Structures are given as C-alpha cells and as structure tokens.
Amino acid sequence: MGHEFERADRVEVDATPEDVWTAIATGPGIDSWFMGRNEVADGKVRQSFGGYEPEHRVTAWEPLRRFAYRSDDADGRFVAYEFLVEGREHGSTVLRMATSGFLPGDDWAAEYDAMTKGTDLFFATLATYLRHFAGRTAVPVTVFGPMITDWTRARTTLTAALGLPADPRPGDRAHAAGLLDGEVYFANEDTVGIRTPGALFRFLRGFAGPVIAGHHLFDGSDPGAQERAWQAWLTTTFSGKDAS
C-alpha cells in the first residue's frame, strides 16, 4: 500500500547566502550537520555512515538560490530534498527545506515515524550550525551503541547519563565527565542534540534498534579518540537491561 509524505521547514539565520549554500550543497558543509561523510560531485550527493551508502541524484542546481536531490529505489521508494535560499537585508538569510517521498509496503508507519523525528533533529542541527558555526566545517563522528530492546527505558538512561531531566528542553544543561559540557538545542522522543563551544553532540534512536551518537567536531579534536571515547561511553551506559 505504502505512504506518500511531504513536509516543509523554514528558518531565518544571521548567516550569508554563501555560508548557507556551503552548508547545504557541499560535502564538508553537509558533514557539519547531517550524518557521516558526504560528497557532492558529478551530479550526485553521496553519503556514507555505518556501512550505509545511499546515493542521490541532483535535480536542481542554482548556486546561492536552489539545490535539490532525490534517491530512487526499484520498489518505488524515494526521498527528495529541496533547499531554497533567500538573502535578506542586514546579512540574514531565510532557508526553506522541503522533504517529500514515498515509503512502500504496509509496514511504513514505524519507518515514517523514525524518519520524521530524525528529520526534526537534522533540521534543528542545520539551524544551530548556521547560527553558531557558520563558515566553519566539522569533522563528523558516528558511533553505534548496543541494540536496544526497551527504548523508553533507554531514553531515561541516556538523559540521566547526560545529567538531564527525563524530558529535556532546549536550554537545559548537559554534562558527561570528560566528554561534553553544553546546552540542549533540540530534543524529542527519539533524539537529543547538545551544543558546546566547539561541537554539536547528538544522540538518536536508530531505526533498527541501536543507540547512535552522531557528533560534529569544530574544535580540532582527534576524531579517532572521540570515536573510541564515545564507543566506550555508549557501551558502559547501555550495558544493563536496556540492551539486548
């Protein structure tokens, strides 16, 4: 049966159209707010994280104005993104992102719910990046934790380990000894995003079950050391009854 979907997001930021374009239409820019490693070349947007390597076809390329791309699978599944950039007076820029697609089959609901909550986090991360780190590029760090059987309990474990209330809100302070000390910029049932002076730290529920840490380092930290540290943190934090 399947499900068609579409959504629209909008944000105004104190960043130039050039900075916004770099963020949405270059590999290093996308590395700074989305997931894993990204490349924009030869009419394609290629992504790589956790062994998953989707490829999207660029469908619109109007520098500083419009960028769009989509994926297409044999079963009819697709996801399409369109970004519209509009410069404003006094150096601000309005960015609009339209997301649409089709999920085949009768079991689309859980995937759609996870995709929606993930997109909320990614757009909030993009907005936070443009507000606080525009013009800079990050090194992405992606770490997969244990498989989770009870996400409700695991989320409580996660927020407690970060020194947060059970239902965190933007502005709440987060802390993990030796790893981060920052402020929540976004949270929903499946995700938490935290900003520090030199990084964006994110934790999300993977669709297949694992806890995922998808971070962006702007401060020159060693990504290998960060990956090892967060892998150990996730393993220790979720080594109890939350994990399968």
Q: What is the tens place of the pLDDT at every residue in 141-181?
A: 999 999 998 999 999 999 999 999 999 999 999 999 999 99
Per-residue pLDDT at 244 exceeds 80: no
> Averaged over 193-222, what is the pLDDT?
94
* Burial (0-12, 13-18, 19+ Cβ within 10 Å), 106: exposed
> Averaged over 49-63, what is the pLDDT?
92
Q: What is the pTM of this model?
A: 0.95
The CA radius of gyration of the chain, in Å to the nearest whole number, is: 18
User: What is the 8-class DSSP label of residue 162?
Assistant: T
Q: Residue 9 in contact with residue 97, Cβ under 8 Å?
A: yes
User: What domains lie within the chain, and their CATH numbers?
Assistant: 3-132 (3.30.530.20), 139-237 (3.30.530.20)
- Return the pLDDT at 240: 67
- Return the pLDDT at 91: 83
The band of 80, judged by pLDDT with boundaries at 50, 70 and 90, is very high
> Averaged over 175-202, what is the pLDDT?
97
Per-residue pLDDT at 242 exceeds 80: no
